[in-house]
Amino acid sequence: MTLGRLRLSVADARDLAEGALRGIGYHNDEARIIADHVIDAAMCGYEYSGLAKILNLFESEHFRLPRRSMKVLRETEVSLAFDGGNNVGMLALFHAAQATIKKTASHGIALVSVTDAWMSGRGAYYVEMIAKHGLVAIHTAASSRLVAPPGGIRPVLGTNPIAIAVPSSRGPIMLDMGTSAYMMTEVMLRERLGELLPEGVALGPGGEPTRDPTAARRGALLPFGGYKGFG
């Protein structure tokens, strides 16, 4: 099998993405929302979160379980708690971000949570949506145990992602970061492509340094920047 690079226009990428998503059971509007997310990631230069993310979605154990409509579990004047209904986070958080924008109407501030959603994609996507409405946004998410502490051999913490957006006259100013030296999504892409990881970003299942993405998936990512990256 030849792994040649295929270049697509945005329109072709969108057709391909939406078609694939409809093919695995998403409605038109759902397919559009997810395709928007992965194409935006690709356009930002995050190839591993681009169209390849749809393969990760389809292969997820969560995808095989039934999904329900999102539901409001609790609502106050300034807060909303959603049950994500085992939907992919790229859908659930899109709706939650829209609801966040509306929720700020009464007091200018809102706290919104989503449970039972998985694979939410780039946090920057949601805070950017919100900041485009003139709001400051902070997003964080739980993640699986993926990161070993400095000097450790087993994953103990998640990647502790945090994204912040602040509106400005020249568009949102954004920070979007996790604490790992490498993205697990990129490890998955490298595994798919049969490529090695850079030195110094991952450990294998026995705690040994590795460049093998398959070993890294069963082992741990390392934090970036030593103890300061171990948030």
Binding site for a second copy (CB under 8 A): 76-79, 107-109, 111, 138, 160, 162, 175, 177, 181, 224-226, 228-229, 231
Q: What is the CA radius of gyration of the chain?
A: 18
**CA geometry: angle at 137 spanning 10 and 225, to 5°?**
85
C-beta of 10 vs 156, nearer to a second copy:
156
Q: Which residues contact 59 (CB under 8 A, 6 or more apart)?
A: none
Q: Closest approach of Cβ 150 to a second copy, in Å? A: 12
| CA atoms within 13 A of residue 38's CA, in its CB half-sphere | 28
Q: Closest approach of Cβ 166 to a second copy, in Å? A: 10
C-beta of 134 vs 226, nearer to a second copy:
226
Q: Closest approach of Cβ 138 to a second copy, in Å? A: 7
Going by C-alpha positions, the residue among 105, 112, 108 that lies closest to residue 79 is 112
C-beta of 209 vs 231, nearer to a second copy:
231
C-beta of 88 vs 222, nearer to a second copy:
222
Spatial contact of 81 and 115, defined as CB atoms under 8 Å apart: yes
Look-up of token digits 């226009």: 9
Spatial contact of 81 and 91, defined as CB atoms under 8 Å apart: no
C-beta of 134 vs 194, nearer to a second copy:
134
**CA geometry: angle at 136 spanning 73 and 88, to 5°?**
45
Q: Closest approach of Cβ 180 to a second copy, in Å? A: 9
Q: Closest approach of Cβ 47 to a second copy, in Å? A: 17
Going by C-alpha positions, the residue among 123, 76, 134, 126 that lies closest to residue 103 is 76
Spatial contact of 48 and 183, defined as CB atoms under 8 Å apart: yes
- Please provide the distance, in angstroms rounded to a whole number, between the alpha carbons at the two ends of the chain: 41
C-beta of 68 vs 228, nearer to a second copy:
228
Beta bridge partners of 147: 157, 221
Q: Closest approach of Cβ 24 to a second copy, in Å? A: 34
